Structure 1
Amino acid sequence: MDSSRRCPLDPAADPVDEGRRLRAMGSLVPVELPGGVPAWAATDLPTAHAVLGHDALTKDPAHWPALVDGRVPDNWELIGLVRGAAMLHQGGAEHRRLRQLVAKAFTPASIDAFRPLIEALTEKLLDDLAAKGDDGPVDLRETFARPLTVRVICKMLGVPDTAVDQLRTHFERLVIPRQGDNADDIGQAFTAIYGALSALVEDKRREPGQDLTSALIAARDADDRLSEQELVEMIFLLLIGGHDTTIHLITSTVHALLSHPKMLATAMESPDADTAWTAVVEEGLRYAPPVRHILLRYATHDIEIAGVTVAKGDAVLASVVAVGRDGALHTDPDSFDTTRPTNREHIAFGHGAHFCLGTRLARLEAHTALKALFSRFPHLTLAAEPQRIASISEQGLHSLPVYLHPPTRSAVREEGTQVNVAAAL
């Protein structure tokens, strides 16, 4: 890989501009990750599918010589995203073994069973927002998107909401890396998370429930299909993956709608609300995906993709933003258009063996949240232009300040439609 041709990937760069530069270079292009780490990046849908679905590209970092021999150091700022015992970092049979242990919790029927909870939580959070009145701006990320998604995944796992709150700084250190952190910073984050989640596991062993964590513990203790480290890291992966990117999806889509009032009006005035808001969610996933780049796959032997030879041991990623804004696939790709026929042509949830297990849950939460939010607060407006998170792996907003402008009476639901929130929770 010629270092002079590599395009540097900068967490602080504008993701759309970066995606445009990558696409101009080709379908599979040489890039440089922070720290001078070389990789290849797929920039269009066919190439991304080829990369994410290729049998010779594994998520197992044991096949990445640069990591094994120390050229990628332990204090690399992205190390938490490429190394570990969870299924995210496994390939082949090991990945299938771990995924099968949790797959039943994410079947359509299992996720649909959470619909009443999601709807009740959404209404309760909107009630809380309405009670604040209209005296000033509120941050929809912290008051709405985050508590909704955190409470749902914690309910699924059977862990207290406070588990996320107490570990938030450590979670963000690993998921949204910061340049300049050292090995001690990374190690302390891992140690704090592992210790707290290990304690939660022991609590669940003593008092199991009808939840995913208890099921995983039972699998671990019954026939040793799961090591203790795998158990703890699986809970970590599900806890983070179950809320973090969905927060970005909800807030970024709200921002896009407020910036494109015609599309918001189209959704709100549609005679088929469910179909309209489904289209909003899909366009949000294409236009401002929660994941910026899907990291990383490693070639187990020399292969050719899109006319490019990827050598054994090379690292490969897929640029989600570049794929979503590809003008060869999407007409006027930089516009937010919920009516476009290609809005499902994206890789926001990945592709292939590692396709996101939580896809249905994320779509359900976003659909429910967006539809209810604008139904309750149809005059919602931005209070300030939000700041983007600087991250290689994720794309999202630090906050989303808005004015609610809630109607005084129309927000009150008709008699007989009031959700029994206490019962649902």
Structure 2
Amino acid sequence: MHLAPPHPWTATADGARHRAYAALAARGPVQQVPLPGGASGWLVTSDDAARAALMHPGLSKGGPERAPFADELPPGIAAAINHHMLAMDPPDHTRLRKLVAAAFTRRRTEALAPGVQQLADDLLDRLAEQDEADLITAFAYPLPIAVICRLLGVPDTDHHLFREWTGPLVVGGNMAGVEAYAAAATALVAYVRELLAEKRRRPADDLLSALVAVRDGGDRLTEDELTSMVYLLLLAGHETTVNLIGNAVLALLTHPGRLALLRAEPERLPAAVEELLRFDGPLQSAIPTITTEPVEIAGTRIPAGANVVVALLAANRDPDRHARPDELDLSRTEVLGHLAFGHGVHHCLGAPLARLEGRIALGSLIARFPRLRLAVPAAEITRTPGFMMNGLAELPVRLR
């Protein structure tokens, strides 16, 4: 078992992560590799194999005890963040997902569009006062954090806190180091507990107040499930969309012909978002699973008790599924078949909201700044290291 550098999780140079996954995929759709933190696992890279793995009854999330540093965090902290639906299998997963599913339906999400548009316009007004900016800091990050905080009922004055905390928590695969991870988790849990106490004192018309009512009224949520649900919604509700926006803008700026087409024909935007998700999605992989029995995927037998990681980035560039997979093609007809939001029972609950935010963010940005371009050569733009997330460290742009 050998994985030649650069590993995709530490590949940060321009294009290096996709090249690393392509090299792995060339070795076969399922292979044993060393994972961050020293464990070994089975990496799934093809579209067919990924779909099979994400639906296989013999693969389990494994529960809260499989979360990073589960045995090393301060007392009570691991339980307060890890009892969420992405760590659970049915029926617990089904019960937890059902409690928040109504807030993320397509109809409910589309009703948020005017508010999302106003938030985007406000951020672009501030950007218009500058000649250059880091688009991640000035736009891609503050938009989705404002949207999810408004939905949940988090005060506007607290948005700035989350970027410091979420960095170590979303790196994944024990890559952040236990001290940084524990400090961020402890701070976030303390904040969430105080916020929930405030919702109990003064309920409002927001999702957190509704979840508190479920917990206190029907006992369908334990206290750890409640805090874990808030933790998950805060992190997953913004971090992936930050990457969606950042990666999409970079892809368009490095493909000026595609950008010109989108400007000329803005009605292409919904389909363009799907292709941009396929081309350079916000996640490298799905949350790892563990085999509960011997499992066969794409002709490879995986023993019981093995880690399985589905490489979404690799599957979305599978040449057997997508013609010319390394090409950004806004005219693809099959692009809705991408796996950027996962597949099966764990398919991203917030996908409609992410699509809405991506559509509004990209459409508003390219309309407002017709001369938008990179402020540095594309080769100087780097990715953040991480096991699951696929995002940019920064995106320097010139606005005029």
Q: TM-score, normalised by structure 2?
A: 0.91
CA distance in 2, matches of 1:196, 1:268: 42
> Unaligned 5+ residue runs, structure 1?
406-425
Aligned residue number for residue 99 of structure 2: 101
Alpha carbons 1:63, 1:313 under 8 Å: kept: no
Alpha carbons 2:168, 2:176 under 8 Å: kept: no
| Residue 213 (structure 2) pairs with residue 218 (structure 1) | yes
Aligned residue number for residue 238 of structure 2: 243
Query: How is 1:97-176 mapped onto 2 (pairs within 5 angstroms)?
Result: 97-130=95-128, 132-134=129-131, 137-176=132-171
Alpha carbons 2:288, 2:309 under 8 Å: kept: yes
**Deviation for aligned residue 1:94:** 0.7
CA distance in 1, matches of 2:115, 2:64: 41
What residue identity is the alignment partner of 1:84?
N
CA distance in 2, matches of 1:45, 1:55: 18
Query: How is 1:379-398 mapped onto 2 (pairs within 5 angstroms)?
Result: 379-384=371-376, 385=378, 386-398=381-393
Query: How is 1:325-340 mapped onto 2 (pairs within 5 angstroms)?
Result: 325-340=317-332
Query: How is 1:26-425 mapped onto 2 (pairs within 5 angstroms)?
Result: 26-61=28-63, 74=72, 84-130=82-128, 132-134=129-131, 137-176=132-171, 182-270=177-265, 273-274=266-267, 276-384=268-376, 385=378, 386-405=381-400
What SS class does the counterpart of residue 225 from structure 1 fall into? coil
CA distance in 2, matches of 1:363, 1:5: 38
- 1:1-43 deviation digits (Å, cap 9, x = unpaired): xxx3567745222221121122111111112111221111111
Mark the CA change 1:201 to 1:179 in structure 2 (over 3 Å): closer, same or farther: closer
CA distance in 2, matches of 1:369, 1:167: 20
**Deviation for aligned residue 1:180:** 7.1
CA distance in 2, matches of 1:163, 1:402: 27
**Deviation for aligned residue 1:194:** 0.7
CA distance in 1, matches of 2:195, 2:47: 41
**Deviation for aligned residue 1:179:** 7.2
What residue identity is the alignment partner of 2:259?
L
Aligned residue number for residue 422 of structure 1: none
What residue identity is the alignment partner of 1:403?
R
What residue identity is the alignment partner of 1:239?
L
Q: TM-score, normalised by structure 1?
A: 0.86
What SS class does the counterpart of residue 298 from structure 1 fall into? strand
CA distance in 1, matches of 2:179, 2:263: 50
CA distance in 1, matches of 2:176, 2:154: 30
**Deviation for aligned residue 1:379:** 1.2
Tell which deviates more after alignment, 369-378 or 12-21.
12-21
CA distance in 2, matches of 1:397, 1:184: 24
Alpha carbons 1:388, 1:398 under 8 Å: kept: yes
CA distance in 2, matches of 1:153, 1:62: 24
What SS class does the counterpart of residue 309 from structure 1 fall into? strand
Mark the CA change 1:31 to 1:219 in structure 2 (over 3 Å): closer, same or farther: same
**Deviation for aligned residue 1:74:** 4.1
Alpha carbons 2:175, 2:387 under 8 Å: kept: no
CA distance in 1, matches of 2:332, 2:277: 13
CA distance in 2, matches of 1:10, 1:210: 43
CA distance in 1, matches of 2:399, 2:248: 16
Identity rate of aligned residues, in percent?
39
Aligned residue number for residue 25 of structure 2: 23
- 1:104-125 deviation digits (Å, cap 9, x = unpaired): 1011111111011011111122
> Unaligned 5+ residue runs, structure 2?
none
Alpha carbons 1:15, 1:292 under 8 Å: kept: no
- 1:321-370 deviation digits (Å, cap 9, x = unpaired): 11111122222221211112232232110011110000000000000111
CA distance in 2, matches of 1:129, 1:352: 39
Alpha carbons 1:388, 1:395 under 8 Å: kept: yes
- 1:353-408 deviation digits (Å, cap 9, x = unpaired): 11000000000000011111111111111101322111111111111111111xxx
CA distance in 1, matches of 2:173, 2:390: 14
Alpha carbons 1:281, 1:366 under 8 Å: kept: yes
